[in-house]
Amino acid sequence: MEHNLRNLLLILTPVLFLANLAQSFFYLPASSRHASSPHMPSALYYTLFVAFFGAMIFALTAESLPLMWVAIELTTLVSAPLIAYHRDKDGLEAMWKYLLICSIGIAFALFGTMLVLHSQTIGSSRWFMAGFAFVLAGYGTKTGLAPFHSWLPDAHSEAPAPVSALLSGALLNCSFFAIVRFREIAPAEAVGFCDNSMLALGIFSVAVGAIFMVRQNDFKRLLAYSSVEHIGLITILYSLCAGCVDVKNMVVLALFAHIVAHSLTKTLLFQTAGNLLLAFRTRAVPVVQGLVVSMKGHAVLWLVGIVFICAMPPSVLFLSELALVFSAPFWVSALVLLLLFIVFAAMMKIALSMVMGKPLVKPDILPKSLAIVPSILLIAIILLGIASIFIVMA
C-alpha cells in the first residue's frame, strides 16, 4: 500500500504544482498592482516555488528514512520564505512561527527516526513504539495534525494564494506519507499502539478543525482549519486500513480518493479565496457580502467549492466519508458524523453569508485570467465526482 500511495502522490503533486504555478502567473502581477506593502522579487518567488516542488518529490522518492528526513526539512526551508512573500509584520510572524514550530517538530522526527532505526538493530518493539510516538508528533506537526497544528492557520492565511494551496494540497500529503512509511514497518506487537494513536490524533484534529471553524471571521483561516479537519479524516481512514495489502479494499480506495479530492478541492478554494482577498483587500468575512451580485463567477466557484469540501454529493469526498462511517467502529462513526455536521453548518453559514445579501463594499475589478485555473479545477472536480459515482454503481 505504501508503494501505491507513493505512486498516487507522485502523480498528484505535479498536477497541483502545475495548477498553482499557472495561477501564480496570473496572481502575482494582479497582487502587486493592488499591493501596498513591499513583496519579494518574482524571480526569487519562482525559484523557491520550483525548489519547494523539487523538495516534495525528493521526500516522496527518498528510499532511506533519514534521507526522507533531510528532504522534509528541506521543504520547510524553501517554503518558509514563500510564506513571508509580503514583507510586513504579519508575514514575518507567520514565517517565524512556521520555521520554529516545524523545525522543532522535525527535530523530534529525527530523534524518532534514530529510535526506530535502533529498534530495528536490536529488534525491540518497545523502542519502536517510543520512536513512532516521536515520529508521529514530529511529522504530525508538519502534517497539521492537532494538537501540533498551531503554525498551520497562520501560515495558510498569510501566504499568497498559490502557496497556501500548495502547502495545503501537496505538502500535508507528503508529510503524511512520511508517517505512513514508519507505520508500514511496524513490528506486529507495535501495530495496535500505532493505529490507536493515529486514530486518536485523527479524531482530535477533526474536532479542533470543527470547533475553530464555528464563528470563524477570516475566510482563509476557515480553509486552513478545514485542512486540519481533512487531514484528520485521512489519518482516521488510514488507521482503519493500515497494513492492508489488498489495494482493492474499500477503505484503501476511500483513503486514496479522499486524498485526491481534498487536494484538488482545497486548491480550488484557496485560489478563489486569494482572488476574493485581492478584490476586497481583506480576509474578514463580515466585509465580504453579496458576491452573487458583485462577482458572479467567483460566487459560483466559492459556493460550489465549499459544498464539495463539505462532502455533498456528487463530491468524491461524500463516498470516501461514507466508507469511513461504514467501516469505523460505532463510536468513531457517531463522533465523526457529529463533528462533520458541525463543520457543514459552520462552513455553509459563512459561505452563504458571503455569497448572499447586498454588497457592503464594491470590490475591485479583477482580471478575467485569475478565474481560469479555478474554473478548470471546478470542472475537473465535478467530472471526477460523477465518474466516481458511476464506478461505484458499476
Partner 1 sequence: MITLSEIALALFLVADFILAGASRLRSAVRFVAMQGLVVGILPIFMWNWAEEGCPGARVWIIAFVNAVVKGVVLPLLLMYAVRKARTRRELEPIVSFPVSQIIVFFVAIGAFIVGRLLHVHASSASELAVPVALTTMGTGLLLICGRKKAITQVLGFLILENGISVFGAAILLEYGIIVELGILLDVFALVFILGIAVFQISRTFDSTDTDKLNHLGDTHLMHPHHQHDHVHA
- Using CA atoms, how far apart are residues 183 and 67, in angstroms rounded to an integer? 17
Which one among 99, 242, 268, 328 touches partner 1, defined by CB under 8 A?
Answer: 99
Contact at 8 Å (CB) between 3 and 9?
no
| Contact flag: residue 356 with partner 1 (CB under 8 A) | no
Q: CA-CA distance, 239 to 163, in Å (whole number)?
A: 29
116 lies in the site for partner 1, by CB under 8 A: no
How many beta carbons lie within 10 A of that of residue 112, not counting itself? 24
3-state secondary structure of 360: coil
- The CB-of-71 to partner 1 minimum distance in angstroms stands at 8
Q: Residue 335: count other Cβ atoms within 10 Å of its Cβ.
A: 16
Contact pick of 11, 43, 121, 330 for partner 1 (by CB under 8 A): 121
Query: Phi and psi for 218 in degrees, rounded to 5?
Result: -125, 115
Q: Binding partner 1 by CB under 8 A: which of 183, 221, 230, 262?
A: 221
By CB under 8 A, the residues from 157 to 216 that bind partner 1 are 157-158, 212, 216
For 222-226, the CB contacts below 8 A with 24+ separation are 222/285, 222/347, 222/350, 223/156, 223/164, 223/168, 223/266, 223/269, 223/270, 223/273, 224/152, 224/153, 224/155, 224/156, 224/157, 224/164, 224/168, 225/153, 226/266, 226/269, 226/309, 226/343, 226/347
Residue 96 is a binding residue for partner 1 (CB under 8 A): yes
How many Å apart are CA 189 and CA 310, to the nearest integer?
Answer: 37
Q: In whole angstroms, how close is the CB of 70 to partner 1 at the nearest point?
A: 4
| 103 touches partner 1 by CB under 8 A | yes
38 lies in the binding site for partner 1 (CB under 8 A): no
Interface with partner 1, residue 362, by CB under 8 A: no
Give the separation between CA 119 and CA 115, rounded to whole angstroms: 6
Q: Tell me if 51 contacts partner 1 by CB under 8 A.
A: no
Q: Pick from 15, 21, 22, 107: which binds partner 1 (CB under 8 A)?
A: 107
Q: Does residue 94 interact with partner 1 by CB under 8 A?
A: yes
Residue 107 CB, shortest distance to partner 1, in Å, is: 5
**Under rule CB under 8 A, residue 41 binds partner 1:** no
Question: Which listed range, 76-84, 177-185, 250-258, 298-306, lies at the site for partner 1 (CB under 8 A)?
Answer: 76-84
In angstroms, what is the minimal distance from the CB of 286 to partner 1?
Answer: 8
Residue from the set 1, 5, 201, 277 that interacts with partner 1 by CB under 8 A: 277
Contact 128, 119 (CB under 8 A): yes
Q: What minimum distance in Å lies between the beta carbon of 138 and partner 1?
A: 11
Closer residue to partner 1, CB minimum distance, 101 or 264: 101
Stretch that binds partner 1, among 45-53, 103-111, 191-199, 233-241 (CB under 8 A): 103-111
Residue 68 CB, nearest distance to partner 1 (Å)? 10
Nearer to partner 1, 316 or 350 (CB): 350
Of the residues 244, 281, 353, 389, which one makes contact with partner 1 according to CB under 8 A? 281
375 binds partner 1 (CB under 8 A): no
34 or 296: whose CB is closer to partner 1?
34
Dihedral of alpha carbons 181, 16, 160, 278, sign:
negative
Query: Which residues are registered as beta bridge partners of 284?
Result: 218
What does the alpha-carbon distance between residue 344 and residue 57 come to, in Å, rounded to a whole number? Answer: 33
- The verdict on 257 binding partner 1 (CB under 8 A) reads no
Q: Does 25 bind partner 1 (CB under 8 A)?
A: no
Rounded Cα distance, 238 and 179, in Å: 10
CA–CA distance, 162 with 305 (Å, rounded to integer): 16
Residue 12 and residue 259 in contact, taking contact as beta carbons nearer than 8 Å: yes
Q: Does 361 bind partner 1 (CB under 8 A)?
A: no
Query: Omega into 374 within 30° of 0, i.e. cis?
Result: no
**Where along the sequence are the contacts to partner 1 (CB under 8 A)?**
31, 34-37, 64, 66-67, 69-70, 73-74, 76-77, 80-81, 84, 86-90, 92-97, 99-100, 103-104, 107, 110-111, 114, 117-118, 121-122, 153-154, 157-158, 212, 216-218, 221, 277-278, 281-285, 287
